[in-house]
Amino acid sequence: MILTVTLNTALDVTYTVGSLVPHASHRVREVAERPGGKGVNVARVLAALGHEAVVTGFAGGPAGEALRGLLAPLPVRDALVPVAGATRRTVAVVDSASGDTTQFNEPGPHVSPAEWAALLSAYEELLAGADAVALCGSLPPGVHVGAYADLVRRARTAGVPVLLDTSGEPLRRGVAARPDLVKPNAEELAALTGAREPLRATRDARRRGARAVVASLGPDGLLALTPDGAWRAAPPRPVRGNPTGAGDSAVAGLLSGLVEGLDWPGRLVRAVALSAATVLAPAAGEFDHGAYTELLAAVTVSEDTAAA
């Protein structure tokens, strides 16, 4: 079983419009609602790959009820912890003419100390049956900034490989707790390390405590620095579409490859192929299966001996 933790779950709402024009009224062509939050997206992709996936985190209010209702028919186990506050909504507006997406993210519910304690209890129970765990996304109000560091340490104590995918101070503190893998994008890496050159920033992130770092370079693919070596992986060509959830699919690729015993190049090929195939899908948490199959054979991976 692979456990994903999404402390700040969301009800994802996607509007599709012909062309997004500031200060104008728009007729929405299509509306889609999905259970969201980074770890929820990761779990949905893992389930589509044939893995048992469990989601935990917080859910509350009408949006939380809608989220859990949308999860119910999916092959993902719901282990969300109820809270008194309302789960946030995220709204993505897709511009059909340009292919660009504009995102609006609410802050999320305020989590009480008692609710946080309930989450920790559920987390430790779930760790007992987990092969790997992903800690994903932002922190809702009320959750202390060192929360992910705490969850990393508990996973390490339980002997469960842990991947961290967050940003800002939660990332900084989480890295210091020595996760097995962190997956920042270039902007998050720069904020963490102060370096904008990806290789230098990735090296710095490893020195801060992460056992391995896989940096997302957008359309240029992934850069990985690991105890076994360094690699770069890239899609055969740029893809256009909705990038929401592409990074989450990369996390699913990395985690599934880890659990299946793939070597690092194999994990990276899967992560890049899933990420690109997600850009081609209509909503986060989904990927274009045909494109994924084609991309698996087309993603290039090269060893970076200078980076190792």
Q: Residues 237, 238, 244, 246: is their CA dihedral positive or negative?
A: positive
User: pLDDT tens-digit profile of 2-34?
Assistant: 999 999 999 989 898 999 999 999 999 888 888
User: Is 199 exposed, middle or buried, given 0-12, 13-18 or 19+ CB atoms closer than 10 A?
Assistant: middle
Reported as a single tens digit per residue, the pLDDT across 190-249 is 999 998 888 899 999 999 999 999 999 888 899 999 999 999 999 988 887 777 788 999
* Active site positions, annotated: 248
Higher-confidence position of 276 and 147: 147
- Region 87-106 average pLDDT: 88
- Residue 214: closest CA among 238, 187, 233: 233
At 283 the pLDDT is 67
Reported pTM: 0.92
**Looking at residue 95, what is its pLDDT?**
87
Q: Are 180 and 212 in contact (CB under 8 A)?
A: yes
* CA separation for the pair 124, 195 (Å, rounded): 36
CB-based contacts of 172-176 (< 8 A; 24+ apart in sequence): 172/208, 173/145, 173/146, 173/148, 173/149, 174/135, 174/148, 174/149, 175/205, 175/208, 175/209, 175/210, 176/149, 176/208, 176/209
C-alpha–C-alpha distance, residues 109 and 232, integer Å: 38
pLDDT at 284 over 70: no
